[in-house]
Amino acid sequence: MISDLLTPSDPEAVNDPLNFKSSDGDVSAREEGDVVVYQFRNKSFRLDKSKARQRLAGKKVINGHRSAELNVLPIKYHEAYRIYKQMKANHWEPDVIDMSKDALQWNTGALSPKERWIIEMGVGYFSAAEGIVGDSVLHVIEDNLTAAELKHASLRHIAEESIHMDSLLHIIGSLNIDLDEVTAKFNDIPSIQRKNAYITRHMPELKMGIDLTKTENKQRFAKAIFGITQVMEGTQFYALFAMVLSLHRQNKMTGIGQMFQYTLRDESNHIALGRYILTQLIEENHDLWTPEFRQELVDFMKEGVALEKEFVRDCLPEDIVGMRQQEFLDYVDFNADRRLAGLNLPTLSNIRTNPFSWLDEVIFLKKEKNFFETRVTEYQTSGSVKNSSEEDLI
């Protein structure tokens, strides 16, 4: 390699690849303003450093420099790349999770009708919801982003939605759930219909492509990011996660519980990525962040909370062992306020304490059952950034 032939021209230039001289006279470099001229035997190469600076300056969340290649260099949005690496470190595969115990409990009457209903509602809702998220991130969010590292992280988000869809198929196949009944759940239950219609009603126009130099269109785009990552994934998913994981705590449907635990970790990263993209979008486009638009987002979350509470009442019409309906309703408020506060928006309720403190332990738990052995192991790729605080998992 050329770098192996080079030695620094002075001690202060050790970390500067543009300041060197050849150890044997064959390779040299000199600066001519913003241009670096490399001479290698009988060939010379002129590298314009100003072009790299222009490329960095041209990076924006939207309306930035677009190129044919998905080249993340030079990186401007470092936090997005960190979240991408966190997503990658948390990679998991549904079909290696043992579902034999779940199948036995499902088919031998070990679950009460109310507990079976929660599982059926979970599978029915998420079979539609995960598709809505993946489609919206692909055609609404990622397609309109112009910075490569933001697109890169969003593509990982989309890939994880496919993993979640695989997990639902693994559940359905393992339990031998009637596919017609699953389809009927998200087609015929009014609370699920209303939730899905509410979150998707603004998407068709954005999928068609809009002029994002206009303030009103920037606001539509910002609202789409907010709706998918903060309202849907960040608020409307969590109560049902808590119900399934409550069963898991009682040693019921532990395979499904394990998949939902990993899914919840993924959602935490999606929420963080969406919030980061949104804050950077606002920073670069102050014109969209008007008092009226901020109130519009609060009202949008308020509507989402009302619809989610209706869904919670359908999933859990009355208290059962280990589950109280009011706690799940409070949990909806708690999460909605967390998402609003994360964007410095006014909160909607006075719920300040997480009614499911144990759920944080589930999210932050580092030790997981090894998929191939019975010993306990770290379920993250070696050398990865470890989750250690709510800044990493939310």
User: Is the dihedral angle over the CA atoms 369, 375, 376, 377 positive or is it negative?
Assistant: negative
First to last CA, the chain: 44
CATH of region 76-378: 1.10.620.20
Cβ-in-10-Å burial (0-12, 13-18, 19+) of 131 comes to middle
Q: What are phi and psi of 382, to 5 degrees?
A: -65, 140
Q: What is the mean pLDDT of residues 281-299?
A: 98
d(CA 354, CA 198): 26
d(CA 260, CA 270): 15
Give the per-residue pLDDT at 183.
Answer: 76
CA neighbor of 338 nearest in space, from 296, 275, 252, 270 = 275
User: Is the dihedral angle over the CA atoms 278, 282, 288, 290 positive or is it negative?
Assistant: positive
Confidence of residue 68 (pLDDT cuts 50, 70, 90): low
d(CA 251, CA 119): 14
Helix ranges, the chain (H): 49-57, 78-89, 100-107, 113-136, 148-175, 179-188, 190-200, 203-208, 215-225, 238-249, 254-284, 291-315, 325-341, 357-364
Q: What is the pTM of this model?
A: 0.83
- Whole-number mean pLDDT of the chain? 84
Q: What is the mean pLDDT of residues 53-77?
A: 80
Q: Percent of the chain scored above 90 by pLDDT?
A: 61
Q: What is the mean pLDDT of residues 157-175?
A: 95
Q: Of the given ranges (41-45, 280-284, 315-319, 344-348), which has the lowest mean pLDDT?
A: 41-45
Bond before 291 cis per omega within 30 degrees? no
d(CA 156, CA 84): 7
Contact 240, 359 (CB under 8 A): no
d(CA 315, CA 312): 5
What is the token pair recorded at 101?
Answer: 């115990």
Higher pLDDT, 335 or 27: 335
d(CA 272, CA 339): 10
For the chain, where do the domains classified as CATH 1.10.620.20 start and end?
76-378
Give the per-residue pLDDT at 114.
Answer: 94
Characterize the bridge pairing of strands 35-40 and 27-32: antiparallel
What is the token pair recorded at 68?
Answer: 């044919």
Three-state DSSP state, 29: strand
What is the token pair recorded at 334?
Answer: 């708690």
Confidence of residue 394 (pLDDT cuts 50, 70, 90): low
Characterize the bridge pairing of strands 43-48 and 6-8: unpaired
Looking at the DSSP bridge assignments, the partners of residue 368 are: 377
Give the per-residue pLDDT at 178.
Answer: 82
d(CA 200, CA 135): 10
What is the token pair recorded at 227?
Answer: 């709706």
What is the token pair recorded at 205?
Answer: 């126009």
Contact 322, 358 (CB under 8 A): no
